[in-house]
Amino acid sequence: MKVGIIMGSISDMPVMKEAIEILKQFGIETETDIVSAHRTPEKLFDYSKNAHLRGFSVIIAGAGGAAHLPGMVASMSPLPVIGVPVKSSNSIDGWDSILSILQMPGGVPVATVALNGAKNAGILAAQILGSHDKNILEKIIAYKEGLKASVNQSSESLKQ
């Protein structure tokens, strides 16, 4: 089981590396590549059509601007696709990326996370794998316990 992480440009990497890092923390194998919907359409087609045959279970796709990458992957792949809107320009505050990824037509879902939300994309991918892998599920449970402990610790520190 491995997660495919793709992005439209190397300039998306500072955001997308958070997905790679959190999946590494969960001990989940990833493979990262640059696939541009507009600049490498043949590669997009090949990647989307073959990802499930190459052992991927989930695809995380990040892009900015006219961010058609996640939706186009979802149109051709049977795998769940998680879309990460990347804030790549300041012109309209990332709304271009968000709306391009979020507003998919019925029948072709993309699970869209927050703007620059690559960490959550990684966690969601782990949860999808964890739904049928006990080992990963245990790690997700421990991760959530860690979140709770950290909030409780902050709360306690206010009382001292």
Which of residues 63, 74, 84, 118 is near ligand RP5 by CB under 6 A?
63
* Min CB(63)–ligand RP5 separation in Å: 4
- 3-class secondary structure per residue, 61-89: EEEECCCCHHHHHHHHCCCCEEEEEECCC
Q: Is 8 left (phi over 0), alpha (psi -120 to 50) or beta?
A: alpha
Q: Is 12 in the site for ligand RP5 (CB under 6 A)?
A: yes
Return the residues of window 71-130 that contact ligand RP5 according to CB under 6 A. 86, 88
Q: Is 65 in the site for ligand RP5 (CB under 6 A)?
A: yes
Comparing CB distances to ligand RP5, the nearer of 7 and 79 is 7
Return the residues of window 31-60 that contact ligand RP5 according to CB under 6 A. 36
Which three-class secondary structure state does DSSP give residue 58? strand
* Min CB(72)–ligand RP5 separation in Å: 12
User: Are 16 and 84 contacting, i.e. CB atoms less than 8 angstroms apart?
Assistant: yes
